[in-house]
Chains A and B, each alone.
Chain A
Amino acid sequence: MDFGVLLTDLPTLVVVILGVPALIGAYIVGSEFLVRRLSDKRRPQVRPWFWVGPALFLVAAYLLLPAIGTVFQSFENNNGNFIGLGNYESQFANFPTGGAWVAIRNNVFFWLIFYTLFTLAFGLILAVLFDRVLYENIVKSLIFMPMAISSVALGVIWNFMYQYQSPGESQLGTMNALVTFVLHHDPVSWLQDQWPTPTFNILNNLALIGAATWGITGFALVILSAALKGIPADLLEAARVDGAGELTIFRRVIFPLMMPTIVVVGTTLVIFALKAFDVVYVMTAGNYGTDVLAYRMYNQLYTAGNSGGASAVAIILLIAVVPVLIFNLRQFRAVEARR
């Protein structure tokens, strides 16, 4: 194996590791130097723009402008001609099984609700529980581990978990081994069964969400546990002295104090839920009624080469985020009022 390159190219790596932060540091120090030459009054007006400037620039270049372009593209056909709401019409055609409807249903009902709730709940519960165990770092690493796995590997693992062999065969998949061995039930075809009905197939969607949740819980855990550790110990002590049990302390003290962070994690998860892609891509490819918006967009864009349709799907996705933003704005003002 040619690990030799690690040695020969190492100087480059070192230069980069030192150079990039140095460059950024130089920028902020330099800009502060400039700001200091301004008058007392101008300084606080100008300074923030130096601090947010590079971030706004990069975000505008890589996300905002393309997003605006997407808005325009969603009104055009593939030859760049304006076609009004045509792309949207075909996405919204044939309710409830045509167009993007299945994807919308899966994202907005199944993914948004279950993925967000499961992950938040697990993350929060584990963060609080692990906070008290002796080998916190080790158990946390275990939960974190799935995050380090690439989505492809995750798909492989969960495909194995959900493996199906015909009834009577020995079940290689963990889930079906459990189902047959413990519950004495016929093996379940987790990813294919459109249970309870093909128009409301919650089972296989939940199977996908389960895999995705497994992969992301470490994310919620890490952030929430960082926030948990920031809660002043004397508040918990005060609550204990006031006679509160640990559950009450969690409900009345820890939870409200972590609320801002829970909102951040929750918002991020909602957005992840709306953008869910990897697991679906790897495990079912949107078959058996498990399509999602991001996967549909990917398909439209790359497989079908239908950029107008893809843009329309993306805009639907972006619009779905708006209520979350409004909620954030409220939360934001509440926190601001508190400090």
Chain B
Amino acid sequence: MLEQSNLGQAFFNSFMIAIPATVLPVTIGAFAAYAFAWMNFPGRNYIFLALVGLLAVPLQLTFIPVLHFYVQNLHWTTDNLEATGIPGLPWVPLWLAHAGYGLPFSIYLLANFFRALPSDLFESAEIDGAGTLTVFFRLVMPLSVPAIASLVIFQFLWVWNDLLVALIYVGSSAEVAPMTVNLANLTTSLGAGSNLLTAAAFFSMIVPLIVFLSLQRYFVRGILAGSVKG
């Protein structure tokens, strides 16, 4: 029963899906959020608002056009990607999809925090000769650690718990399907062993909790204290 449930494979698949699908929207979102918060470009506010608005698009509506494009134009089916033999490749469509779906919130949240950093710091860094990259990596990122930590937690959790998106973009075959798909299958069947279900549910819950607990220490107080007077 356990053998056939492929729990170990699914567990691994979940990581293969969740980690890049968290890293992508958080980093790409951070870049964009920084630009929205601290750079000037035409239409900035309206583009930003459009992003927030897109947060409301029901994902189900996007599946068909996106999958259609994957299959018809890119020939990105799980089969084709697996056939290349490159490990990890079958998940690329899913990573990108999760990135696309996660970005609006990612940008919205981070831009809000980035905007709250005192402008004096940016000025002083500029005077010190820091370029955009340095300011981003050495000031913005470390000073926004609480926001980034919370975003990582949420994005990871959403991806980790996601069933539908994974089902659509990679399907439910054991080689690629994550825990959730596995779990959902366990629950449908009439009279599945409920202890197996409990064990699997525990597994799927414990990982986000570990992520949460281990990132908690980044929720530091007064990260900006002592920086500016007035």
A58 pairs with B99, CB closer than 8 A: yes
Interface size counted on chain B using CB atoms at 8 A: 95
- Which one, A52, A314, A339, contacts B31 given CB within 8 A? A52
B8 pairs with A6, CB closer than 8 A: yes
A9 pairs with B12, CB closer than 8 A: yes
- Which one, B34, B50, B115, B222, contacts A233 given CB within 8 A? B222
Interface of A is mostly: helix
A1 pairs with B2, CB closer than 8 A: yes
B57 pairs with A63, CB closer than 8 A: yes
B2 pairs with A64, CB closer than 8 A: no
Residue A317 lies at the interface, judged by CB distance under 8 Å to chain B: yes
Residue B107 lies at the interface, judged by CB distance under 8 Å to chain A: yes
**Which B residues are CB-close (under 8 A) to A141?**
209, 212-213, 216
A-B pair number, CB within 8 angstroms: 262
**Which A residues are CB-close (under 8 A) to B81?**
none
B36 pairs with A52, CB closer than 8 A: yes
Cα–Cα distance between A68 and B27 once the two chains are bound (Å): 27
- Which one, B64, B97, B132, contacts A62 given CB within 8 A? B97
- Which one, A62, A222, A268, A329, contacts B105 given CB within 8 A? A268
Q: Contacts A20-B23, A55-B31, A55-B103 known; A63 to B62 CB distance under 8 Å?
A: yes
Cα–Cα distance between A321 and B108 once the two chains are bound (Å): 15
- Which one, A1, A149, A229, contacts B146 given CB within 8 A? A229
**Which B residues are CB-close (under 8 A) to A197?**
none
Q: Contacts A1-B3, A6-B8, A13-B12 known; A260 to B116 CB distance under 8 Å?
A: yes
Cα–Cα distance between A313 and B184 once the two chains are bound (Å): 27
A48 pairs with B221, CB closer than 8 A: no
B10 CB, min distance to chain A CBs, angstroms: 9
Q: Contacts A21-B27, A232-B225, A294-B58 known; A5 to B65 CB distance under 8 Å?
A: no
Residue A65 lies at the interface, judged by CB distance under 8 Å to chain B: yes
B88 pairs with A12, CB closer than 8 A: yes
A150 CB, min distance to chain B CBs, angstroms: 5
Residue B56 lies at the interface, judged by CB distance under 8 Å to chain A: yes
Which one of A25, A32, A55 has the highest number of Cβ atoms from chain B below 10 Å of its Cβ? A55
Q: Contacts A5-B12, A17-B19, A55-B31 known; A329 to B56 CB distance under 8 Å?
A: no
Residue A40 lies at the interface, judged by CB distance under 8 Å to chain B: no
Q: Mark A54-71, 1 if CB is under 8 A from B, else 0.
A: 111011011111110110
A-B contact pairs, 5 of them (CB 8 A): A3-B7, A47-B132, A65-B65, A226-B219, A264-B108
- Which residues of chain B have a CB within 8 Å of any CB of chain A? 2-3, 6-9, 11-12, 15-16, 19-20, 23-24, 27-29, 31-32, 34-36, 39-41, 44-45, 47-58, 60-62, 64-66, 87-88, 95-97, 99-101, 103-105, 107-109, 112-113, 115-116, 119, 131-133, 146-147, 149-150, 153-154, 157, 161, 163, 180, 183-184, 187, 201, 204-205, 208-209, 212-213, 216, 219-225
- Which residues of chain A have a CB within 8 Å of any CB of chain B? 1-6, 9, 12-13, 15-17, 20-21, 24-25, 28-29, 32, 35-36, 44-45, 47-49, 51-52, 54-56, 58-59, 61-67, 69-70, 137, 140-141, 144-145, 147-153, 219, 222-223, 225-227, 229-230, 232-234, 260-261, 264, 267-268, 271, 274-275, 277, 294, 297-298, 301-302, 307, 310-311, 314, 317-318, 320-322, 325, 328-329, 332-333, 335, 339
